[in-house]
A and B are shown apart, each in its own frame.
Chain A
Amino acid sequence: MRCNDVKRVAYFFLDGTLGATRQKDFSKHLNLCPDCEARTTIHRRIRLFLKKRLARLSAPRRLKQRLTRSLRAFAD
């Protein structure tokens, strides 16, 4: 795997969906190439950041009450 391949598939490597052989090739490349290693680390850290910052909302209590009410009314 070369740097350009690594750039194209880095997100899928992080998803764990490259298939065993290519996951391994990718990791091997990272051990030899500090630039790609840094870039992949940044992708990973940004993903964690987004997961943390964007997952904060939970449904308001009034919505949950409203849903329960309408579902029950709907059933009658």
Chain B
Amino acid sequence: MKSAEAYEHEQGWDFEKAAMPYVDSLYNTAYRMTRNSEDAEDLVQETYLKAYKYYDKFEEGTNFKAWLFKIMKNTFINNYRKKKLTPHKIDFSEIEESYERVIQKNAPDLIKDPESEIFQDMMDEDVKRALDSLPHDYKMVVLLADIEGFSYKEIAEILDCPVGTVMSRLYRGRKMLERTLLEYARKYGYIRQGEPAKMRSRKDETKGRKKKEQPEEETEVQEPVENEEEVLFSDDEDAELEIEDPEEEEFRIE
């Protein structure tokens, strides 16, 4: 058992140098978690001091950044979440349905002009609001995967849950977030509707309605409602999704 200090003497490890490169990442995530800069700064500070203190618990060769995130997640739960741990009841079938409605209506306008940013006029405030509208657990997996680029396995480690849960939350979290963004985009006019696109979108709506009447669609709408997690990926598909080779598991975000 060595403290970082002892380690420093023995092998010249400089905790400060090793840990400081992650301060922006940790702060960015802390800010999204606490929603204000003061708490985010305190959270990062506490994380660093704990990491320094418990450095002997860090297993060499494992991911240092993920380890720091795990400490931060635990610190956050201890400090900030005690009061509001009431689980959200989410009706995912409703989310799927409204997602289908909004995407089918807007798809033609959204895919044209692939060169520009998709909701280029959207205010950062609205992006933030959309993210904050996610239940905490879903927000965390989306942030860790899509902003920080952690693999499913690393996220499972950080959050202390099975990989299947990470994937299920990712699926739902991303979908909820997309739906909210699409709704804002439509409500506030961020989706640019050109004349030809309008004509296409009307056609597409009809197509969408027709699709909904097909039995195939019906089965998908029956997605389990109250039964949390796992359900989505508990069939045999899971085995394949849960990765043959850990190396393959890395995110490749284009």
Contact = CB atoms under 8 A, between A and B. Distances in A.
A62 B42 CA distance: 12
B160 interface: no
Nearest to A49: B118
B111 A38 contact: yes
A28 interface: no
B136 interface: no
Interface residues of A, number: 49
A67 B117 contact: no
B248 to A, nearest CB: 7
Contacts of A3: 216
Contacts of B44: 59, 63, 67
Interface string A55-76: 1111110111011101110110
B117 A60 contact: no
Given A42-B107, A74-B52, A75-B5, A59 B23 contact: yes
Contacts of B216: 2-4
What secondary structure prevails in chain B residues at the interface with A?
helix
B20 A64 contact: yes
Interface in A1-59: 2-4, 7-9, 11-12, 14-19, 22, 35, 38-39, 41-59
Nearest to A59: B27
B95 interface: no
Given A54-B131, A71-B48, 16 more contacts: A9-B237, A9-B241, A11-B170, A11-B171, A17-B152, A17-B243, A17-B249, A19-B240, A39-B103, A47-B146, A48-B254, A52-B117, A55-B28, A58-B27, A59-B28, A71-B15
